Amino acid sequence: MNRVNAFFVRLFAFFFKEMAEVIRQPKLFITLILGPFLIMLLFGIGYRGTQPPLRTVFVAPHETALSKAIAENVALVGSTIQYAGTVQTMDEMTAMLKSRSVDLGVVIPEDAYEKIRQNQQAEFKVYNNEINPIQLNYLSYVAQIYVDELNRQVISKVAEQTQADAQKVSGYIDKALEINARYKAQLQAGDQAGASASQAELRQNVSSLDQAIGATLAVLSTVDPGISTGGGQTASVQNDITTVKDSKSVAQDIPTDKKDYSAEIANVDENEVVLKRLKANLSDFSAISPYLMTRIFISKNYSINAIDFTMMMYFTPVVIMLLLQHIMVTLAALSIVRERRSGTMELFRVSPIKAGEVLVGKYMSYMVIGIFIAAVLGALVYYGLKVPMLGSWRDAALITLALLFSSLGYGFIISLMAGTESQAVQFSMISLLLSVFFGGLFLDFRNLVYPVKAISEVLPVTYGTQMLQDTMLRGLSFSLITMLKLLGIGVVTFIIALLMMRRKMATE
């Protein structure tokens, strides 16, 4: 009983000592709580989340209709590109890029029409002076969007022309309908000679219609929703033309020895129906806006979440986890090295206190400090920054506890490895850097490959962030496997720290 009592007395000796030492440093305590909150607040206020427009200069040695149109139509790609003028030489453009007065330099191809005529692509050369690889990807993406937009504009012009052609086709159909009506009346009157003349006129008209509709059909086929199913408007138009062309009333001459032309009249009636349908279809095509024709499909994003997340909301769980990890690592890292430097470790080695008691006592105190900081920080971001908590607070608390526990293990290992306090601080900073790069703050750790990915997998912040984001922003319960991995790190680092502590406290 006495031994058990002594064990708890020793455990709480460290617990109260560490607590008192931290609480007696109000500036440190306030910094630990307010620091992370202010970082997130400033981030929320100052981060725009959208790319600024790219100032773009165009290079056109000689002003052509194309160069003028391209420069004038920059606004068509939205606010992504901002027109910054047109220069005549590459040198001028390079100077502007070097002085960073523009972000992009676009060289307009002089021989664009020539190339197209030769069935080749005309190339836009897009220059930049960017050193940030992420920004470079963005520039390439924007340049591609710009060129795609230009291509669409060209296609749009073609479609416009085709629609005008379709109007001409419509005139042929009207004429065909008129001839057809006359042809029918002549057949009904038994006027074989007049009907034959009308038939010949109709035949010629349909042939002209067939030719005229060819180009229109090519454009129509690109916008025809039936393409994917193998039927649709294009096929219908083509069929209708063929039906009229191959119909008996057009293809076969009218017999001269007949008194009753009712069969021929029925054929003419059928043609009338087909021609009317053809006209209706072409009218539909003409009614479609050329702009829409070249941008048939658009995408619009919908979230299944009830909230529109801001960048600050997204980063809050990451920042909370990262800072809690760093605070725990630093507190623990300085803890034992300070005892060693001050000579108190020597006292512990002579006293009956055990390595485990020292370590557990310190764990307890730092856990309580960490819980307090996390609670205040949680309340500040929830009430102050209005970051939502879609999941359960209990889950968030469990995740935080697991992260604090695991982070302390690393801190104590650092403390037992470091010879001086400055070394301990340096090691802590290295652990922070590793966490920033590999813990999911800026880079998605799924993009990493082994063996580097293993670094991510041994960082508490990686798992803490995943689980807290799921809980806070997705309203999910944490994954048990992820939680076990995080706790596993905690247990392993505790055992390592305990073994190291035993060695430090053993006889030299």
Partner 1 sequence: MTEQQFAPTPGMVITARNVSKYFAKEIAVNQLTFTIPQGKIIGLIGPSGCGKTTTVRLLTGIYRPSKGEIQVLGGDPRHFTSSQRERIGYMTQLFTLFPDLTVRENMDFASSIYGKGLIRRQKRIKTLLNFVELTENRNKLTRNLSGGMQRRLALAATLAHDPDLIFLDEPTAGIDPILRRKFWDYFIELKNEGKTLLITTQYVNEASYCDYVGVMDAGRLIMLEPANQLMKIAFSGEILDLVTTTALGPQVLDAIQALPFIRGEIDQIGRGKYRMTVDEASRSLPQLMSWLDEQGITVEKLEPFLPPYDDVFVKVIQDNRDKQATRAEEIGKES
Closer to partner 1 by CB, 209 or 332: give it.
332
Measured between alpha carbons, how far is 205 from 330 in angstroms, rounded to an integer? 90
Looking at 154, 292, 296, 347, which residue binds partner 1 (CB under 8 A)? 347
Residue 56 phi/psi, 5° resolution?
-125, 130
- Four-CA torsion 219, 114, 112, 162, nearest 10 degrees: -20
**254 CB contacts (<8 Å, ≥6 apart)?**
187, 192, 195, 196, 199, 261, 264
In the bound complex, what is the minimum distance in angstroms from residue 21's beta carbon to partner 1? 5
Give residues 418-447 in contact with partner 1 (rule: CB under 8 A).
none
Are 424 and 430 contacting, i.e. CB atoms less than 8 angstroms apart?
no
Looking at 9, 42, 311, 375, which residue binds partner 1 (CB under 8 A)? 9
Which x/- pattern, by CB under 8 A, does the window 285-324 give for partner 1?
----------------------------------------
Q: Does 7 bind partner 1 (CB under 8 A)?
A: yes
Closer to partner 1 by CB, 209 or 355: give it.
355
Q: Does 5 bind partner 1 (CB under 8 A)?
A: yes
Looking at 346, 433, 442, 484, which residue binds partner 1 (CB under 8 A)? 346
Are 162 and 219 contacting, i.e. CB atoms less than 8 angstroms apart?
yes
Give residues 18-47 in contact with partner 1 (rule: CB under 8 A).
20-21, 24-25
Looking at 195, 333, 353, 467, which residue binds partner 1 (CB under 8 A)? 353
Start-to-end C-alpha separation, the chain = 32
Measured between alpha carbons, how far is 85 from 75 in angstroms, rounded to an integer? 13
- Four-CA torsion 75, 79, 84, 88, nearest 10 degrees: -50
Closer to partner 1 by CB, 347 or 452: give it.
347
Q: Does 366 bind partner 1 (CB under 8 A)?
A: no
Closer to partner 1 by CB, 353 or 489: give it.
353
Name beta bridge partners: 127. Answer: 105
Looking at 204, 342, 422, 479, which residue binds partner 1 (CB under 8 A)? 342
In the bound complex, what is the minimum distance in angstroms from residue 47's beta carbon to partner 1? 38
Render the burial of 98-118: b for 16+ CB within 10 Å, e for the rest: eeeebbbbbbbbbebeeeeee
In the bound complex, what is the minimum distance in angstroms from residue 500's beta carbon to partner 1? 17
Looking at 140, 252, 344, 422, which residue binds partner 1 (CB under 8 A)? 344
Going from the C-alpha of 162 to that of each of 220, 295, 360, 404, the distances in angstroms are 9, 16, 82, 68
Name beta bridge partners: 105. Answer: 57, 127
Query: Rounded to 5 degrees, what angle do the CA atoms 315, 317, 319 make?
Result: 65
Closer to partner 1 by CB, 210 or 421: give it.
421
In the bound complex, what is the minimum distance in angstroms from residue 4's beta carbon to partner 1? 10
Stretch binding partner 1 (CB under 8 A), from 68-76, 218-226, 342-350, 485-493 = 342-350
Looking at 260, 308, 444, 508, which residue binds partner 1 (CB under 8 A)? 508
- The residues of the shown chain that bind partner 1, judged by CB under 8 A, are 2-3, 5-7, 9-10, 12-13, 16-17, 20-21, 24-25, 342-344, 346-353, 507-508
